[in-house]
């Protein structure tokens, strides 16, 4: 039996402070991060909440950042929330409501279009300096290319890239994807995951189905 992984430590590699398990560095209750999801930053990954989650005012907009388990998030990834989206439903895009001189113009949320939560699935890899826009949902197992700008939902186990991001290919055929989505290996006990890393790395479907009790 392998050593049981610990999701509650801050730095997953001893002596390496350039990556952290994000959930242990977050203080905002409207940022929800799953176990073992890490962020790598060449300067300071502990600033993730301040430097990577932008225009996020949940007290006003009631929006959340939700990221699943075992995600890999590269340096410079930005999550851009509702307050960055100046409204397209008025003649002017200028945010009059934000400033004292025009506070009579209306409630502050009229200055932008509310796109909603950003929801990232499990086992998602987000590449260097990608931008994830508000309202976007990214499915389990997806891969987001470096410097992609993701403006639309991404299906599970799909590779996307570009500006705006578009599907490049599926990682596996539909039958394999269905097995992986049913197996939900990220919800296994961490000890079970640790003992079966080789099966996950090798895409040993027989073993995965056995552990997940799939017929």
- Give CB contacts under 8 A, 24+ apart, made by 91-97: none
Please state, in angstroms and rounded to a whole number, the distance separating the CA atoms of residues 115 and 137. 11
Decide if 85 is catalytic: no
| Catalytic residue from among 56, 62, 86, 104 | 86
Extract the tokens encoding 136: 């976007």
Closest CA to 126 of 96, 147, 151: 147
For the chain, the helix, strand and coil percentages under 3-state DSSP, each to the nearest 5: 30, 20, 50
Phi, psi of 133, rounded to the nearest 5 degrees: -90, 160
Judging by DSSP bridges, how do beta strands 65-67 and 38-40 pair with one another? unpaired
Please state, in angstroms and rounded to a whole number, the distance separating the CA atoms of residues 90 and 197. 53
What residues act catalytically? 86
């Amino acid at each position: 039996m392998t050593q049981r992984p610990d999701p509650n430590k801050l730095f997953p590699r001893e002596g390496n402070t350039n990556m952290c398990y994000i959930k242990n560095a977050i203080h905002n209750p409207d940022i929800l991060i799953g176990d073992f999801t890490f962020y790598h930053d060449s300067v300071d990954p502990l600033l993730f909440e301040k430097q990577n989650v932008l225009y996020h005012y949940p007290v006003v907009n009631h929006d959340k950042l939700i990221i699943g388990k075992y995600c890999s998030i590269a340096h410079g990834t930005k999550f851009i929330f509702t307050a960055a989206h100046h409204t397209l439903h008025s003649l002017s895009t200028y945010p009059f409501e934000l400033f004292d001189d025009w506070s009579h113009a209306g409630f502050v949320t009229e200055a932008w279009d509310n796109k909603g939560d950003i929801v990232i699935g499990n086992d998602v890899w987000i590449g260097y300096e990608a931008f994830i826009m508000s309202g976007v949902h990214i499915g389990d197992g997806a891969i987001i290319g470096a410097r992609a700008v993701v403006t639309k939902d991404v299906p599970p186990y799909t590779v996307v890239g570009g500006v705006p991001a578009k599907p490049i290919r599926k990682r596996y055929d539909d039958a394999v994807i269905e097995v992986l989505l049913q197996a939900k290996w990220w919800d296994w006990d961490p000890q079970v995951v640790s003992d079966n890393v080789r099966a996950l790395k090798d895409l040993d479907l027989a073993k995965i189905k056995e552990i997940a009790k799939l017929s």
